[in-house]
Amino acid sequence: MRNKLADVLIAKGIVDVKVLNAIRNVPRHLFMDSSFEGHAYQDKAFPIAADQTISQPYTVAFQTELLAIEPGHKVLEIGTGSGYQTAILLKLKAKVYTIERQLELFKKTNLFFKKMGYRPKKVIFGDGYKGLPEIAPFDSIIVTAGAPEVPKALMSQLKVGGRLVIPVGAEEQIMTMFIRKSEKEFEKKELGAFRFVPLLEDKN
């Protein structure tokens, strides 16, 4: 079923062999509530705890491909969610720091990682808008929730040459990639419309 899913993603334009192999190797059904297991290898998003969703495999593959990850890259993930995206990044041998602001999900996913032997560098409960300045700079930053605007903190935490992939917009999001060209200069690319749950900011 995972091979079939990879074939669907190839048909939709995913070409990175390493990303496709990660999709083939990560058991997505384990990241979903058991009642949804039969849906795990369809190219669809599904609800998980705390009113969040596990992203559509195409979206996961699309965002991951844009990051151009090499083994050992330091990656910041905003929105751990079910941990599926995290697992894909780990399969690519990235050093993953992941932040989740929903306590229920944070606890559940953190336990799941330990049980399954997935070892992100750090799983953090907190506000993804702020990033992780103490660990920065990062080779890449991936945001897995729709942001009304691009958090400045995340831009500043990218290495020169690093990539930020973020869905930007309120109702519908445009997948946006920023490549840091220098201290002050960023190249911006807009890569089509997607729908995500909203990225929430702690106001206090």
Instruction: Copy the structure tokens of residue 26.
Output: 């990560």
- Extract the runs of DSSP E, i.e. beta strands, from the chain: 46-47, 53-54, 74-78, 95-100, 122-125, 138-143, 158-168, 173-180, 186-194
How far does Cα 69 stand from its chain's mean position? 12
**Catalytically annotated residue among 55, 82, 156, 182:** 55
User: How many Cβ atoms sit within 10 Å of the Cβ of residue 159?
Assistant: 15
- Helix H or strand E encompassing 66: helix 57-67
Cα(195)–Cα(144) distance, rounded to whole angstroms? 10
How far does Cα 60 stand from its chain's mean position? 7
- Extract the runs of DSSP E, i.e. beta strands, from 81-157: 95-100, 122-125, 138-143
Strand partners, 27: none
Is 55 among the catalytic positions? Answer: yes
Beta sheet of 74-78, edge-to-edge order: 122-125, 95-100, 74-78, 138-143, 158-168, 173-180, 186-194
Catalytic sites, residue numbers: 55
